[in-house]
Structure 1
Amino acid sequence: MSAPESSSSLSRFDVIVIGAGPVGLSAVFQCGMLRLRCAVVDALDAPGGQLTALYPEKPIYDIPGFPAIAAGDLVGRLLDQAAPFNPVYHFSHLVTGLERDEGTTPGLWRVRTAKGLVLEAPVVILAAGAGAFGPNRPPLADLEAYEGHSVFYSVARRETLRGKRVVIAGGGDSAVDWALSLADVAARVMVVHRRPRFRAAPETTARLEALAAQGALDLVIPYQLQALEGEGGILRSVIVADLDGARRQLDADVLLAFFGLATDLGPMAEWGLGIERHAIPVSQETCRTCRPALYAIGDVATYPGKRKLILTGFAEASAAAHNAHADCHPGEGLHFEHSTTTGVPSLG
């Protein structure tokens, strides 16, 4: 899986896609099928969004045609699918400015990044997920000294934890899923949660409790993280405490803290898009925002009945691309044809 940043000097495109997660990459393909050339801008240093940054080896089960596919593998396939259309990728570029020039036909959006990059296109598609994101960090003394060495907020490769004593803190899907995944890899898995009940899917919670009953892992409940013990970033033990303050020491090599993500729409919140509950309202039929030729798809978009699923985002990418064609080519009709008829067009 790779999509190196292009060194192309091109600055004018048909569509600028902001966000290189799975939905943004799908938009590149959908636009390419309509012969619309795309540039892709993302604040992260690699494609894939949360799939790559947080859980590349985690299996996804609701992608049509794949009974199960690793998140990183899905990103790789989406990159391969978009590759024939030669999109220009700009990674590690935070978009800071968005301006509309109606003095041309069609009108042009001008996108600026913190590094001084300027791109122009008649259409912009926002596929920025929930915006910039980072982990919610537990309030532990000297936490920074252990981060990246013994304390992690995601797992890139579960093999790196083979034979380790792993404490997993959290009660949601990520905590439960990784406990199940690591149970047969780690020397020991200990799950710390402040409540007896987990917030994960009932099926996976039942599997977790079954493994605990078999002695395959430990449920440390109801407890909360209290302190870290170690030296030089190397963890020796995790101290937890119950609601009465009684402390317990867990011998550990690694702490995985899964307390969700802190998200921030950043500059998008200042673009006059009528943000509602951390999302951008769009027309369900077109995915168009309240501003001309500006679309929002994926988790950043909202409308009545919205489901935040990757496959929903894929459908939104198709809707946005087909409506974007009219913005790029005013007055030009678009005759819809299936890919089995058109094949994969060349953009030259």
Structure 2
Amino acid sequence: MADTIDTDVAIVGAGPAGLFAVFECGMLKMSSLLIDALDEVGGQCAALYPEKPIYDIPAHPAIDAADLVAKLETQIAPFGAPRLLGRRVVGLSGEAGALTLTTDKGDRVTARAVIIAAGAGAFGPNRPPLDGLDAYEATGSVQYYVRRREDFRGKRVVIAGGGDSAVDWALALKDVAASIAVIHRRPKFRAAPEMAARLDEAAASGAIEMVVPYQLHGLEGEAGMLTGVTVATLQGEQKTLVADVLLPFFGLSMDLGPIAEWGLALERHHLPVVPATCETTMPGVFAIGDVATYPGKLKLILQGFSEAAMAAHAIHPIVHPGQALHFEYSTSKGVPG
């Protein structure tokens, strides 16, 4: 039987919100442990877009996702939180003050409280329904994430989609790729207005080709090596774009996995929480970041940071019952050794 690991707070999910929860718990002298299904910390920032700049982190006009994760790692280093990576939590039982988690690798963790910072849960791309797609995915001719911009240097890139990812990566790759073509079924994009305006400017200058209003129709090539992407209008008009790589950005499919079976209330694949504490419908279990929902919720990393602080303060009386919390600013108390 596997040894039992004991901690004050078990944090399920090691994305930015989960990492910052380690800091907030540590500042309140509570130990914590990170559990994540991925083999590295950072969540979507590390797995999906490590080189993508983020513009709404306070004090950072722009910071690449991987750099943000690295700085969070540096910030939480003094607390030495252990990690169980490459594991999914499959079981949660007990009550506030005495909770037990089990993983698919046989780990057993006991904790006074649990913070679920699982983001989108187990995530995967929404794949376009195109014939022969598997063969092109296997060679990298069709990709759903951009991990390194340099991988696309000198390549003819076709991007499909109308949201933030499509617009952001079109702009980020235009000075690296040999050519960029953006396919969307209508002229209006769902991206942030500022970025959509920059896309229009790039298109007007000829740096990006706008293929509107078209949709993906087919792939051309041999042995999984892409040579062209066929697009079509709703009226059936077709044309083929020369391409080395297709990047379809149609969002992620969200699967909470075993979390959905823990007896927590669910609201459209999210966990409703009390806004002031981030506690779920199960006492002692809290949710922060993208997985949490409440009236007025914003899906921003910075809001996940705030929720980490609120959850940690709400957990303190569970971990230290009867002990008054004398809140001090970090400028006066420093970081505990």
What is the TM-score when the length of structure 1 is the normalising length?
0.93
Secondary structure in structure 2 of the residue aligned to 1:249? strand
| 1:174 corresponds to 2:165 | yes
| 1:264 corresponds to 2:258 | no
2: distance between equivalents of 1:122 and 1:128? 19
Comparing 208-217 and 127-136, the one that deviates more: 208-217
Secondary structure in structure 2 of the residue aligned to 1:81? helix
- What are the residue-to-residue correspondences of 1:1-348 with 2, within 5 Å? 11-100=5-94, 102=95, 107-148=97-138, 149-346=140-337
* Cα-Cα RMSD: 1.5
Secondary structure in structure 1 of the residue aligned to 2:56? coil
Q: Do 2:12 and 2:18's aligned partners in 1 also have CA atoms closer than 8 Å?
A: yes
1:119-174, Cα deviation, whole Å (9 max, x unpaired)? 11111000011211110000011111111511111100111101100000001111
1:24-77, Cα deviation, whole Å (9 max, x unpaired)? 000001111112111111111211111111111111111111111111100110
TM-fit CA distance, 1:285: 1.1
1: distance between equivalents of 2:212 and 2:248? 15
Q: Do 2:33 and 2:81's aligned partners in 1 also have CA atoms closer than 8 Å?
A: yes
1: distance between equivalents of 2:142 and 2:4? 42
2: distance between equivalents of 1:61 and 1:187? 26
1:288-326, Cα deviation, whole Å (9 max, x unpaired)? 112121111111111111111111111110111112111
2: distance between equivalents of 1:273 and 1:111? 14
The residue type equivalent to 1:63 in the other structure is: I
TM-fit CA distance, 1:107: 3.1
Q: Do 2:11 and 2:114's aligned partners in 1 also have CA atoms closer than 8 Å?
A: yes
User: What is the count of residue pairs matched by the alignment?
Assistant: 335
- Unpaired runs of 5+ in structure 1? 1-7
Comparing 336-345 and 20-29, the one that deviates more: 336-345
TM-fit CA distance, 1:233: 2.4
The residue type equivalent to 1:137 in the other structure is: R
Secondary structure in structure 2 of the residue aligned to 1:181? helix
1: distance between equivalents of 2:97 and 2:42? 30
1: distance between equivalents of 2:59 and 2:200? 31
Structure 1: which 4+ aligned runs deviate by more than 6 Å?
none
Secondary structure in structure 2 of the residue aligned to 1:277? coil
Secondary structure in structure 2 of the residue aligned to 1:13? strand
What is the TM-score when the length of structure 2 is the normalising length?
0.96
2: distance between equivalents of 1:186 and 1:75? 27
